[in-house]
Chains A and B, each alone.
Chain A
Amino acid sequence: MSLSVFMFYLLSGIILTFSVMSVTTRRILRAAVYLLFVLVATSGLYFLLKYEFMAAVQLTLYAGGIVVLIIFSILLTHHISHRFTRPALMNLLMGIGTAVVGSGLVLATLLTHSFKANNAAELPVDMSAIGNQLLSTGKNGYVLPFELISILLLAAMIAAIIVAKKDKNKNSEI
């Protein structure tokens, strides 16, 4: 068993274990930390697939940004010692039933379909290739979605500030 195969099984074991623990634990801060483990292991999978830039983005944006944001909002809205009550039996059955039926269907489809692996030469995914393609207007260029997502991020930033800011003057309309 080569090292990369071993790493793959280790990382997927971490992903599956901690994602189940993240949705079943009754302490919310632990759920956030388990989510962090899942995200870091996912970036390990990206490193295995040789997408180094994507793995770095995953580490900085998800593990560094979103998890910190979630932990901050947990600390603003919960006591540390807070524990969830157990979910209602009907909800539990519905959730597990949906997950089992859905994953059964998808796995049955996946495992009967034969994927033909393409043996073409691998394109090196380095920074200059990514940058050139992201800003090109020609074939396979992504300059339009790039500009769109910059507008989306600006709108999200303004929206987050407006939604969450304190209303100083109750009489003035926003």
Chain B
Amino acid sequence: MIEGIGIEHFLVVSTLMFFTGICGFIIRRNLITMLMSIELILNSVNINFLVFNRYLYPDQMQGHFFSLFIVGIAAAEASVAIALIINIYRSLQNIDVENVNEMKY
């Protein structure tokens, strides 16, 4: 743990980052920016896992492994999502969510 910084400081930062991501996910109408908001959300959760591990259970490594697996899953999710987005762009010529209202192509 870091001298002079409580666990609450980290948790406040990650909470604000999480809800910024939620806000962006609701406001944005573009698929790529929505994907970026999801990345923000995943990152804030990662910070939480590592901070809880370091401050509350410093003799174990569970939080570290959880965030390692979250990073791997986020990479897989981003690659598949971008493949889908490029395919949608190819058939609709733009990637706003309003235009993606049928699952047929």
Chain A interface (Cβ < 8 Å from any Cβ of B): 1-2, 4-5, 8, 12, 15-16, 19-20, 22-24, 28, 31-32, 35, 38-39, 42, 45-46, 48-51, 54, 57-58, 61-62, 65-66, 69-70, 73-74, 76-77, 84, 87, 91-92, 94-96, 98-100, 102-103, 106-107, 110-111, 115-118, 120-123, 125, 129-130, 133-134, 140, 142, 145, 149, 152-153, 155-157, 159-161, 163-164
Interchain CB contact under 8 A, A50 and B54 = yes
Interface of chain B, main secondary structure: helix
Interchain CB contact under 8 A, A95 and B26 = yes
Q: How far is the CA of A115 from the CA of B24 in the complex (A)?
A: 30
Give the contacting residue for B80; candidates A51, A145, A163; CB below 8 A.
A163
Known: A49-B51, A54-B64, A70-B78. A22 touches B40 (CB 8 A): yes
Interchain CB contact under 8 A, B22 and A73 = no
Chain B interface (Cβ < 8 Å from any Cβ of A): 1-13, 15-30, 32-33, 35-37, 39-40, 43, 46-47, 50-51, 54-62, 64-65, 67-69, 71-80, 82-87, 89, 94-95
